[in-house]
Amino acid sequence: MSISRKDFLRATSVLAAGALVSQPLLASAGKVKKYPISLAEWSLHRALMKQQITNLDFPRIAKKEFGISIVEYVNQFFKDKAEDTAYLNQLLTVCKDNGVSNHLIMCDGEGELGHTNDAERKKAVENHYKWVHAARFLGCKTIRVNAAGNGTAEEVAKAAVDGLGRLGEYAAKEKINVIVENHGGYSSDGKWLGTVMKSVGKKSVGTLPDFGNFCLKRGENWKCIEEYDRYQGVKELMPFAKGVSAKAYNFNAQGDCVETDYKRIFDIINASGFKGIVGIEYEGEELSEYDGIKATLALLKKVMGI
């Protein structure tokens, strides 16, 4: 490609001016993408499990304590309320009063969508229907599910394609997305889950890449003994992503995540063309839940140049 002298001079003048600008300013001038930030309820799971707070407190805490206006629920913290209209209306009132919008519901404990038994898989699919309805009632766009199952990788993949396909078809009628998180076992293999997504082939079915959930096999005391490369995994899951889970455990003195290079991860996310929401999911123990959320939020803002 040829370039005119006029264009050359214009380009060199721009480069010369750029040399006078600090690197952080250059980054904020257009190379760093900024995403809306949500808070995953699991970040407060210890306080919730100890009943120090309730699910109804969550939206208020997200906004008042952290300035976050988008939330992601975990179904186990209002397990028996999916079809309780009065409760859901109460939750909506809390959200409205605090200027908070609902993004998704993380669904666990409703059966395996990758179960190799047809009857059990069908039951698992139908168990998720109530959460599809609850998500729509609350104004969420998405439910997060798991692609678990027992059997060979090929057997579970075939079953998961069927289970996710059925649920995705049902949820699409309610205008709700179904997304799968890398959450242990086969689902933590980015290539495996990416292949399942391709086979499902539905716009309403996607992924929720989690920075930290790439453990393929656990040993005693739940210790991970075999891990999939998280950067490769995120890269393989981003083409199907309808959300991102910014998992963090520990931080160094500079405020960076010890386990995950956020700059490297976000280079992958940016390159994918992702345009969705990034959710904070702090799961460490060195900091309190509140301080861990604040540390993760500060890191996201630093990486995004906010």
Look up the CATH number of the domain holding residue 43: 3.20.20.150
pLDDT computed for residue 1 by the predictor: 42
How many domains would you assign to the chain?
Answer: 1
Count CA within 13 A, CB hemisphere, residue 11: 6
Burial of 69 (0-12, 13-18, 19+ CB in 10 A): middle
Q: At what angle do helices 230-237 and 262-272 cross, to 10 degrees?
A: 20
Name the residue range of residue 246's domain. Answer: 35-304
CA separation, residue 212 to residues 9, 16, 69, 227 (Å): 47, 41, 24, 10
**16 belongs to a structural domain:** no
**39 belongs to a structural domain:** yes
Q: Give me the tens of pLDDT residue by residue for the chain, a chain 306 residues long.
A: 433 433 433 433 433 333 333 333 333 344 679 999 999 999 999 999 999 999 999 999 999 999 999 999 999 999 999 999 999 999 999 999 999 999 999 999 999 999 999 999 999 999 999 999 999 999 999 999 999 999 999 999 999 999 999 999 999 999 999 999 999 999 999 999 999 999 999 999 999 999 999 999 999 988 899 999 999 999 999 999 999 999 999 999 999 999 999 999 999 999 999 999 999 999 999 999 999 999 999 999 999 999
Strands 224-227 and 215-218: antiparallel
**259 belongs to a structural domain:** yes
pLDDT computed for residue 32 by the predictor: 72
Supply 116's token pair. Answer: 């190799």
pLDDT computed for residue 23 by the predictor: 35
**18 belongs to a structural domain:** no
**17 belongs to a structural domain:** no
pLDDT computed for residue 31 by the predictor: 64
Q: Are 167 and 113 in contact (CB under 8 A)?
A: yes
Q: Are 106 and 42 in contact (CB under 8 A)?
A: yes
Q: Which H, E and C letters describe the chain, residue by residue?
A: CCCCHHHHHHHHHHHHHHHCCCHHHHHHHHHCCCCCEEEEHHHHHHHHHCCCCCCCCHHHHHHHHHCCCEEEEEHHHHHHHCCCHHHHHHHHHHHHHHCCEEEEEECCCCCCCCCCCHHHHHHHHHHCHHHHHHHHHHCCCEEEECCCCCCCHHHHHHHHHHHHHHHHHHHHHCCCEEEEECCCHHHHCHHHHHHHHHHHCCCCEEEECECCCCEEEECHHHCEEEECCHHHHHHHHHHHECCEEEEECCECCCCCECCCCHHHHHHHHHHHCCCCCEEEEECCCCCCHHHHHHHHHHHHHHHHCC
**25 belongs to a structural domain:** no
**194 belongs to a structural domain:** yes
Look up the pTM and report it.
Answer: 0.88
